[in-house]
Structure 1
Amino acid sequence: MEYIDHAMDLGAALSTPGLNIENRPIPDPHIDSNKLEMLYGQLADILLQLPKLSFPRIGSLTQVDDFTWEVTRRPLSINMNELIRLGTLPRSKLPATSFENASSYYKALADLHLEHLVHQRNDAVDSVNDCRGKYVPRQLFRNLARDGRLVSSLKKLWCDDLRPSNVLVNANLQIVGVVDWEFTYAAPADFSFAPPWWLLLEQPEYWPDGIEAWTEVYESRLQTFLNVLIKREVEAIRQGRLKEDQKLSGPMQQSWESGHFWVTYAARKNFAFDAIFWQKLDCRFFGPSGVPEGNRWKQRVDLLDEEEKYYMEELVNQKFEHMKERVLAWEPNEVYLEKV
C-alpha cells in the first residue's frame, strides 16, 4: 500500500502526553471533552460502516468482482495469529473452514482455548492444581458454546485489529487513513455489538489496577462514546447513509449492561481467558460462589462429566511429562490428546 501522510496515530492523540514508546498506553485523564468527542465521533463513523455489510457465513472474504465479496475461507483473527506466533499452537489446530452459524464458530473458539492449553509447552502451568484450574474454565466455556448459550444469529463484517493505534490523523486531528485490515472477516454480530475495549487504549487484563478498576474507568468513557455515537447515527440516518436497524448504540449499551461484552471478549482473547472467565463469566453462568477465585475450580469441577474429568487428569500427566523433558523444538504437526 502507498504511504499515508499523517502527523500521528489516534492512540497518541488520546494518550497521556509525554509517554515513551516503550510505555503501555494510558488514556489522558485530562483530555479536553470537545477534543475527546471529536475523536470519538470520527471513530464512530468508521464503526458504523462495517456492520452495514452482512454475510451468510462466518469466514474470510474473497473478491469476486468489483462489487462482490463472498465468504470462501476460514476466518483468520489476530488472536489465531498470536496463538501460532506465541502460543506454540500447531497450525493444523486452527479452524479449517468457514462457519454456517455463530454457534459453531463460538464452539471452534472454545476449542482453541483448550488446544492452546494442551499445546503450550513447559511453563504453561506451574503445578497440578494450576493445570486443573486452567482446564476447568476452558471446558465449562466449551460446554456453554456447545449448548448454544453464547451467541446471536447474524454475521457482520468485523476487523479484529481495529484500534486507535491503527488510525492515522493529520495535524488537525482529522482521520486520514486506517491501516492493518488483514484480520477482517465476517464474524458473529455479537462482536460488532460489543462496545470497543480500546476506548481506554489498554486491554482490561493489562490495566495496572486490575480488571475491576478498568471496568470502573471504562464506564465513564463508554457513556461519552455512546452519546457521540447516537449523534452520529441520527445524522447518518437523516442523510440516508444508515438505516434504523443498523444502529450500534443500543446493541452496545445492551452488550455492556448484560455482561455479554465479556463473553465476546473471552471468546476472542486466549491469553486473557482465565481472568475474564473467573471475574466476569463464572458467576453469571454458574451462580454465586463464596470460594476465592484461585480455588473456585475445585467447586466447579463437579459440573464436568466423568469423561471430561478423565481428560483433565490425562492433561495433567502430559503437562508434567513436558516439564521434565523441557523440549524446546518439535514438529509443528505434533498432536496430543485428540479427544480433548
Structure 2
Amino acid sequence: MAQKTSPLKTLFDELEETNGDDECKAWLNRAFDSKAELAVFVAGRREGGGTGKYVGFFKGSFNISFRFSFGDGRPDVIIRFPKPGHTATAYRDEKTVNEVQVMEYLRQNTDIPIPRVHSWGLLAESPQHLGPFIIMDYVNGTLLSTILKQPDQDGMVLSPNIDDTTLDKIYYQVAYYIVQLSQLSFASIGAISKDDASSAWHVTGRPLTYNMNELVTVAGYPDDQFPTAPFDRASDYLRSVANEHLIHLWTQRNLADDAEIAQERFIAHPETLQITAVLDFEFTNAMPAEFTYDPPWWLLLSGPEVWLERCAMDEFVTLYEPRMEQFLRALERVETEMALEVKQPGGRSLSTRMRDSWTTGRFWFDYAARKSFDVDTIYWAALHKDGAGIELLDDKARAEMEPFTQIKMEQLKAYEEECTARFSSGDVEDM
C-alpha cells in the first residue's frame, strides 16, 4: 500500500447544504407543533390502541423519531420520519419502503434482533403530510458507540483503553450477524421486496444508496443521472458507480480550490473505479457479494477517511490491524460453531476472504467505490502508485484534463460569487 497522507478532502457544496438545512428547520418546526396529533395517530396505528403520551425525541443524521408511551404494559413506540433537506425529498418514500422491506426480510430469515414494526406508510398517509413514517417498538438500551468511544474525544474514536473482554463479546455478536447476512443471496443487485402472491423475495428496484442521497443533498448532483433499475451483474453495478463518481467530479462546482487540485482529482477518479436491537436499515440493498467479503470498516468507529485526514497510512494500519485480527478471531469462532450451517461459495470461509481483501487491497477499492466524497482521500493514501500522476493517463484522458481544469475553475468562480451574495449578511444559523 502507498504510504501517503491524502492532500485532498472533498467539501460539501455550502449552498446546497444550507438550502437543505433551511428546509429541515422549517419541517422540524411543523413536526414538533404536531406532537399532539401524532400521539393520536400513533395510537390508532398501534396494537392495543389507547392514549399516547409524548416522552421525547431522537434526532439522527437523516431521521427524527418521536417516542410515545401508553401505560398498558406494552413497549413504548416511536414514529420515525426521514427529515426533508437531509434526506432527498424525492427519495423519502422510496427510502422508507426499502427499509421496511429489509426489516421484514431480516426478521424472517435471520435472528438479528429487529424492532417490531407496528405500521408504516407513505407521505400521502401521514399526519399534516409530514412524510413517510415507520411506527415501531422503542427498544431500551445503550448505543454501542457510547460504550466503545473515547469519552474525551470529539467524534467517533475507539477508546484505546477498551477492555479486550468487552470488545471480544461485542465482536462475537456482530460477527454472528455478519455470517448470517453473508448467507443471504439474490440474483440481482438492488432494493428487495416480497411478492404478495407467492411470499417470495426478489430484487425489484434500483439500489438507492447513502452515497446517492449525499450527492443530491449536499453536492448538487443531477438526480436524473442515477440508475432507475436493478443490476443483473456486479460489473454493471460497479461501472455505474464509476460513472456516478465521474459525474460528481464534473458537476460539483467547489470540488477543487485551484487548478492543481482539479488535476489531482481528475487523475484519481478514473483509476480508482475499474445487540438488543440492530437499527437503521435505510439505504440497505442486495449488493455485490465482494462487499460482504471485506473486513468491517468501522472497527475504529470512524471510517478510514477520517483517520487518513489526521495521520499517515502506516499509522492507521498500526491502529486498525490489531482490531481487525481481534474481530476475525471472533468471526472464526462463530464459523467453527456454525460449521454445519455456514456454506460459502468455493468452500472458503468468510474470515479467509476478509483477510484476502485486506492483504490484496480490495478493501480499499470497495470502500472507495461507495464513497464519492472520500474517494480522493482513499485513492491518494491507499491506491495511488508512488511517483505516478499524469503519466498514468492515456492520451485521451490527458487531452480532457485541460478543459476539465478550466471548467472547474469557472464553476468555482461562479460558486464563490453566489456564496458571497448568499452569506454576506451573516445571518445564517447552524443546525
Per the normalisation by structure 1, the TM-score is 0.77
Once residues 50 and 116 of structure 1 are traced to their aligned partners in structure 2, the CA distance between those partners, rounded to angstroms, is 31
> In the alignment, does 2:11 pair up with 1:11?
no
Partner of 1:235: 337
Partner of 1:298: 390
CA spacing shift, 1:188–1:328, aligned 2, 3 Å:
farther
| Aligned partners of 1:4 and 1:177 also within 8 Å | no
CA spacing shift, 1:178–1:58, aligned 2, 3 Å:
same
| Aligned partners of 2:238 and 2:369 also within 8 Å | yes
Partner of 1:209: 311
Partner of 1:79: 211
Partner of 1:249: 351
| Aligned partners of 2:313 and 2:382 also within 8 Å | no
Alpha-carbon distance, 1:47 to partner: 0.8
**Any residues of structure 2 matched to 1:109-124 within 5 Å, and which?**
109-121=241-253, 123-124=254-255
Once residues 151 and 259 of structure 2 are traced to their aligned partners in structure 1, the CA distance between those partners, rounded to angstroms, is 45
Partner of 2:405: 316
SS at structure 2 position matched to 1:271: coil
**Any residues of structure 2 matched to 1:265-276 within 5 Å, and which?**
265-276=367-378
Alpha-carbon distance, 1:67 to partner: 4.2
- Deviation per CA, 1:94-123: give whole Å up to 9, x if none: 2222112111111111111111111112x2
Partner of 1:218: 320
Where has structure 1 moved over 4 Å in runs of 4 or more? none
Alpha-carbon distance, 1:328 to partner: 4.8
Once residues 38 and 279 of structure 1 are traced to their aligned partners in structure 2, the CA distance between those partners, rounded to angstroms, is 32
SS at structure 1 position matched to 2:411: helix
Once residues 246 and 274 of structure 1 are traced to their aligned partners in structure 2, the CA distance between those partners, rounded to angstroms, is 32
SS at structure 1 position matched to 2:195: strand
- Deviation per CA, 1:18-70: give whole Å up to 9, x if none: 55xxx211111111111110000111111111121111111111221474211
Partner of 2:45: none
Partner of 1:190: 290
Partner of 1:158: none
Once residues 165 and 412 of structure 2 are traced to their aligned partners in structure 1, the CA distance between those partners, rounded to angstroms, is 54
**Mind listing any 5+ residue stretches in structure 2 that lack a counterpart?**
1-134, 420-431
Q: Work out the percentage of aligned pairs sharing the same amino acid.
A: 35
Pick one of 125, 140, 160 that aligns with 2:256. Answer: 125
> In the alignment, does 2:260 pair up with 1:135?
no
Output the amino acid matched with 2:192.
L
Flag the structure with larger Rg: 2
Once residues 349 and 219 of structure 2 are traced to their aligned partners in structure 1, the CA distance between those partners, rounded to angstroms, is 37
Alpha-carbon distance, 1:139 to partner: 2.1
Output the amino acid matched with 1:54.
S
| Aligned partners of 1:75 and 1:185 also within 8 Å | yes
Alpha-carbon distance, 1:305 to partner: 3.0
- Deviation per CA, 1:311-336: give whole Å up to 9, x if none: 3223222222223323759xxxxxxx
CA spacing shift, 1:56–1:86, aligned 2, 3 Å:
same
- Deviation per CA, 1:199-252: give whole Å up to 9, x if none: 110111111324432222110000000001000111122xx4423548411110
SS at structure 1 position matched to 2:192: strand
